[in-house]
Chains A and B, each alone.
Chain A
């Protein structure tokens, strides 16, 4: 049988404080970060959804949760705004990755433009939707 493991001695430089990520790299790592955030807050999101469609009592706890403040800060609404950004970034970056899969926007200038668009559009939509529903 042929050798399955090919060992190569390549130089390694993995100091995260020194690596300067290019823009598409930032979009990529934020795709992962936003996915983790959405996953961790799933119980909260499902609970809020259930309460929002529940009976009068559940609706009361839903409104209380949304109005809940910590040191004057509406903490749950703020978390939801953060998750809204996470969703929008994950959504936009996901569309970009699917386009890359079908070889759209693969060369460097297009890849950089796409990355800029993903960052800008998801931030702008977060501000817009946040202002609409806050």
Chain B
């Protein structure tokens, strides 16, 4: 029998779960958006604007965006951890990724609540 000692920061399970929860939110939103687009009275920019300006859709779109950015954080961080070994460079890439994603969240909020 192999005796194993499990070590680590124990964030693996939380990330595994977060990746699946955010993926489910995004998949459900995709279905919601497809249905709403299919039901648009006309398929032009005005109808698209009206759809996106709706309060409920705005809320869901923002939820989708936040899910996407968290999902991207876990995924991209895993990639840095797999391929980038020098600690300083890896840390810099982690910080840059995080800053970009936080910025995108603000950008999306600004786009949506200007409508």
Interface 9-mer from A36-44, A75-83, A112-120 = A36-44
CA distance in complex: A101, B24 (Å): 14
Contact of A53 among B7, B49, B100 (CB under 8 A): B49
Interface size class on chain A is: 20 to 34
Q: Is the CB of B75 within 8 A of A35?
A: yes
Task: Say whether B102 faces chain A, with CB atoms less than 8 Å apart.
Answer: no
Residues of B within 8 A of A4 (CB): 5, 7
B69, closest chain A residue (CB): A42
CA distance in complex: A42, B100 (Å): 10
Residues of B within 8 A of A35 (CB): 72, 75-76
A133, closest chain B residue (CB): B43
Contact of A46 among B72, B108, B115 (CB under 8 A): B108
CA distance in complex: A35, B72 (Å): 8
Q: Is the CB of B79 within 8 A of A52?
A: no
Asked, given contacts A39-B72, A53-B48, A53-B115, whether A46 binds B104 with beta carbons under 8 Å apart, the answer is: yes
Interface size class on chain B is: 20 to 34
Q: Is the CB of B108 within 8 A of A95?
A: no
Task: Say whether A74 faces chain B, with CB atoms less than 8 Å apart.
Answer: no
CA distance in complex: A38, B26 (Å): 14
Q: Which of A19-54 contact B (CB under 8 A)?
A: 32, 35-36, 38-39, 42-43, 46, 49-50, 52-53
Task: Say whether B93 faces chain A, with CB atoms less than 8 Å apart.
Answer: no
Q: Is the CB of A50 within 8 A of B72?
A: no
Min distance, Cβ B56 to any Cβ of chain A, angstroms: 16
Q: Which of B46-65 contact A (CB under 8 A)?
A: 48-49, 52-53
CA distance in complex: A95, B24 (Å): 9
CA distance in complex: A59, B79 (Å): 36
B82, closest chain A residue (CB): A32
A-B contact pairs, 11 of them (CB 8 A): A4-B5, A35-B72, A36-B79, A42-B100, A50-B107, A53-B52, A53-B53, A94-B23, A95-B27, A98-B20, A98-B23
Chain A positions near chain B (C-beta within 8 angstroms)? 2-4, 6, 32, 35-36, 38-39, 42-43, 46, 49-50, 52-53, 59, 91, 94-95, 98, 101
